[in-house]
Amino acid sequence: MGKAYIVGAGPGDPDLITVKALKCIQKADVLLYDRLVNRELLTEAKPGCQLIYCGKQPGIHEMKQETINHLLVKFTKLGKTVVRLKGGDPFVFGRGAEEVEALAKNGLSYEVVPGITAGVAVPAYAGIPVTHRKMASSFAVVTGHRTTGKPTDVNWENLAKGVDTLAIYMGITNLSYICEELQKHGKKRNTPVAIIQQGTTKEQRTVTGTLATIVGIVKHEDIQNPAMIVVGEVVLFRERIRELEVLNQGYCEIGVNEGLAN
């Protein structure tokens, strides 16, 4: 029997992959990779490694999850070293748990290799901390999309009333619904919001507004998926740092610097 590795590739910047994840890529016989995995990482695979694209995007699934599970089991049974390379962390909205379950049901050897998740890394690259001693003592990662459409089963009331910072994945399509739900359940209209497109990559763009204005801003700026939504007072930290840089005529390198330059 072989062994399967369920590996997090990080949020986009290839330099954010972990040492252990990189070693897994380099020894893989078969590598099944997702749409948001930086293609630079694939060049680390050894000669002869079989690369299989398993990408998913809104409304279009190149490969069904059941097929991915089948391939993981199939190649591991053949004695291969199999790497399932997933954007971010495999257990944060990555269906990694379903893949682990498929391997476990078949009595196969596997290991999970965590990755840096976008909910923390993407705001950081835009100059936004998810927690701050004076602004936010709690944060939550939230899905902004369900296979059936709007995330109606998310407890927006608890999130609106009980969490300081929200990092919302896959929510651009449902942005209007999300803003309405948060306001309906107690978040103020002027609560700061940032939308970060293509976070941690050279194409990163950030726009900011409030729960009342961000939908119009996103439409005007033509912000598209993949994008992270950050809701909370910590968004204001980005502007504070920008003001300090102007005041001191300095330049603080945060991530790809897009956060403070745009």
| pLDDT score at 148 | 73
Burial 42-66 (b: 16+ CB within 10 A, else e): bebbeeebeeeebebeeeeeebeee
pLDDT band at 186 (very low <50, low <70, confident <90, very high): very high
Calpha distance 30→228 (Å, rounded): 30
**Does 189 score more than 50 pLDDT?**
yes
Active site residue 153: no
Q: Which is catalytic among the residues 13, 29, 34, 89?
A: 34
* Position 99, amino acid: E
Helices (H), 60-139: 65-77, 96-105, 118-125
Active site residue 89: no
Q: Which is catalytic among the residues 80, 86, 89, 170?
A: 170
**Does 257 score more than 60 pLDDT?**
no
**Does 127 score more than 70 pLDDT?**
yes
Q: Phi/psi zone of residue 70: left (φ > 0), alpha (ψ -120 to 50 degrees), beta? A: alpha
The token pair that represents 235 in the structure block: 């968004």
| pLDDT score at 251 | 52
Tell me if the pTM is above 0.95.
no
DSSP SS3 for 205: strand
| pLDDT score at 45 | 98
**Does 57 score more than 60 pLDDT?**
yes
**Does 58 score more than 70 pLDDT?**
no
| pLDDT score at 256 | 46
Residue 209 class from Cβ within 10 Å (0-12 exposed, 13-18 middle, 19+ buried)? buried
**Domains plus CATH for the chain?**
3-113 (3.40.1010.10), 118-261 (3.30.950.10)
- C-beta of residue 193 within 8 angstroms of C-beta of residue 229: yes
| pLDDT score at 250 | 53
pLDDT band at 63 (very low <50, low <70, confident <90, very high): confident
- C-beta of residue 130 within 8 angstroms of C-beta of residue 105: no
Q: Mean pLDDT throughout 116-134?
A: 95
Task: Identify the weakest region by mean pLDDT among 133-142, 144-153, 208-217.
Answer: 144-153
CA nearest neighbour of 161 among 223, 232, 230: 232
**Does 120 score more than 50 pLDDT?**
yes
| pLDDT score at 89 | 97
- For tokens 């049901």, name the residue: 105
pLDDT digits (tens, 9 = 90+) for 36-51: 999 999 999 999 999 9
pLDDT digits (tens, 9 = 90+) for 240-254: 877 776 667 655 555
Task: Identify the weakest region by mean pLDDT among 79-83, 110-114, 199-203.
Answer: 199-203
Calpha distance 236→238 (Å, rounded): 5
**Does 255 score more than 60 pLDDT?**
no
Q: Which is catalytic among the residues 20, 56, 77, 150?
A: 56
DSSP SS3 for 246: helix
| pLDDT score at 62 | 67
Q: Mean pLDDT throughout 111-137?
A: 96
- For tokens 């920008």, name the residue: 242
Helix (H) or strand (E) holding 235: helix 235-248
Task: Identify the weakest region by mean pLDDT among 108-117, 146-155, 161-170, 192-201.
Answer: 146-155
Calpha distance 14→24 (Å, rounded): 15
Q: What one-character-per-residue DSSP string does 207-221 give? A: EEEETTTHHHHHHHH
On average, the pLDDT of the chain sits at 91
Helices (H), 28-168: 65-77, 96-105, 118-125, 156-162
| pLDDT score at 61 | 55
Active site residue 29: no
Any residues with CB less than 8 A from the CB of 121 and at least 6 apart, and which?
10, 11, 16, 199, 200
- C-beta of residue 200 within 8 angstroms of C-beta of residue 254: no
Calpha distance 108→74 (Å, rounded): 10
